[in-house]
Amino acid sequence: MTSANKLFTSLFYTLRKYDVTVTFMTLMNELRQRLLHAWRGLEQSLIDDAVNQWPTRLRACVRVNGGHFEHTL
């Protein structure tokens, strides 16, 4: 699993942990606060890895003209 995938998986499970469900939220501020809380719960190393992979992933995306590129990494 790539670092970017780990980042999004971690964010997903953190959000699930706090039962973030947009359908039951009535205020955008509440959604914002929950997302910020979830973001703060992520490990900095996951964020750093995702940021560091960005140039490689961008080049791969350009090579395939915006198509699927995960299998080339």
pLDDT (0 to 100) of residue 64: 92
Mean pLDDT per 10-residue section of the chain, whose length is 73 residues: 73 67 63 86 89 91 89 82
CA 13 – CA 37 distance, rounded (Å): 13
CA 52 – CA 17 distance, rounded (Å): 27
* Helix spans in the chain (H): 3-17, 28-40, 44-63
pLDDT (0 to 100) of residue 9: 75
pLDDT (0 to 100) of residue 21: 56
- Is residue 30 within 8 Å of 39, Cβ to Cβ? no
